[in-house]
Structure 1
Amino acid sequence: MRTLLVLLAGAALAAGPSGHASASGHGRAGVLPAPPSPEIALPAPPPPAARVRVAILTVANGAPTDPPARSAFLNCSPVGGSHPRPAEACARLSRAVLDPADLERPGTEPCTMLYAPATATASGIWDGKYFQLRHTFGNECEMRSATGALFGF
């Protein structure tokens, strides 16, 4: 009886998922469905959020708590927005996002020593990550010298 069960179990295993054993004791291999035809191909996925590069830029005349005197929207992928020179501003913002201390470096343009603080902020999404930059400069000239076209709106 035990021998018969082993033979039946072996035949069932050899038959595979179809449940039919051949006379030789070897089962038919399961047949996989064919891949879908190209006409039924799925649409391409939307671009990843990793390439989103947008920012809101503001300049306040005075301390960081003062309301902004002006603002601009900057889109860097694709380049556009309400900024008057978006391509130059995007290049400058790219450096600042990679190294936030880059905004704190003094510029090369000579400026007066008149103290009239200007607070510049940039916040948004860069390659899928939120960022926020803020720096108070001694005056507008120092801000333009250090940031170039970024806050020139």
Structure 2
Amino acid sequence: MDKFKEKLAALREEVNAADARALEAETKAKLLSDEQIQKDHEITSLKNKLNLVESDLEKAENRIAEAKLNLDEGETSKTVGETLARKVSLLESELDNAERNLRETTEKLRQMDIKAEHFERKVQQLENERDTYERKVEDLTTKYNGIKLELDDTLKSLDDL
């Protein structure tokens, strides 16, 4: 009888441990989900920044094209030519900065995509672990109920004696 109680206590401890592990896995899954949502927001933000940088780049390219057209149309004054040359230099500098920003933003976006994929795989792994633990808990519950029925039958047969 004592052995049976010990086994029953051990099974209860196993069930409690499995419940704790399942709760921990669910907590981890929620944290990863929240982190993934945050990363998605960051990706959206970076995409918006990328669009703005591309727009600035296009404007800068248009200004460069306009400046070059003005130069090609034959500005006669040396002062006007120098002014336009400075504008072109400034626009090219802005273009270089915009292209550098575009490359950096693209790299950050790529890294965020990689991180998002990593977290998606991690969430899937944790969900699989949770499902495994849930199956184990169900199996242990079934065993527990079977043992309980056997105990009840045994006690009933002892009472009948």
* TM-score, with structure 1 as normaliser: 0.22
Name which one, 1 or 2, has greater alpha-carbon Rg. 2
Q: Answer 1 or 2: higher relative contact order, Cα 8 Å, separation at least 6.
A: 2
Could you say which structure has the higher helix fraction? Answer: 2
Question: Which has the larger share of strand?
Answer: 1
TM-score (normalizing by structure 2): 0.21
